[in-house]
């Protein structure tokens, strides 16, 4: 069996590392986006960014903050899986 077989350990390891890496990049991007929201509000004179941050902080409730954080991590992970799945489809079409 070659190392590029569909069920190979090497391919699984590569996909796992790509998924974790992309999830980390998405979380870091989200953190950057959230730090920019107050500046956007200041520039536009609006308060949409503050409203988003208020929702995400859970009005100071630690339990709600943990739930929101877990959901955001799950969303980033699922988005990473989707992006890698689409990338895999594109690579397969390019090869053929």
Residue 1 falls within a domain, yes or no? no
Counting the structural domains of the chain, the total is 1
Residue 63 falls within a domain, yes or no? yes
For 15-26, how does the pLDDT look when each residue is reduced to its tens digit (9 = 90+)? Answer: 999 999 999 999
Mean pLDDT over the full length of the chain: 86
Distance of CA 25 to the CA centre of its chain: 7
Residue 69 falls within a domain, yes or no? yes
Residue 78 falls within a domain, yes or no? yes
CA distance to 20, 42, 73, 86, per residue, from 96 (Å): 28, 51, 35, 16
Residue 61 falls within a domain, yes or no? yes
Which residue range(s) make up the domain with 19? 9-95
Residue 56 falls within a domain, yes or no? yes
In this prediction, residue 4 carries a pLDDT of: 54
Q: Which residues of the chain have pLDDT under 50?
A: 1-2
Residue 4 falls within a domain, yes or no? no
In this prediction, residue 48 carries a pLDDT of: 84
Residue 21 falls within a domain, yes or no? yes
In this prediction, residue 16 carries a pLDDT of: 94
Distance of CA 14 to the CA centre of its chain: 18
């Amino acid at each position: 069996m070659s190392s590029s077989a569909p069920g190979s350990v090497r391919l699984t390891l590569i996909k796992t590392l790509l998924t974790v890496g992309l999830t980390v990049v998405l979380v870091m991007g989200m953190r950057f986006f959230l730090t920019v929201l107050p500046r956007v509000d200041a520039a536009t004179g609006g308060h949409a960014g503050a409203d988003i941050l208020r929702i995400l902080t859970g009005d100071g409730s630690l339990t709600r903050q943990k739930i929101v954080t877990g959901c955001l991590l799950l969303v980033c992970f699922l988005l990473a899986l989707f992006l890698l799945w689409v990338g895999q489809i594109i690579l397969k079409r390019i090869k053929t």
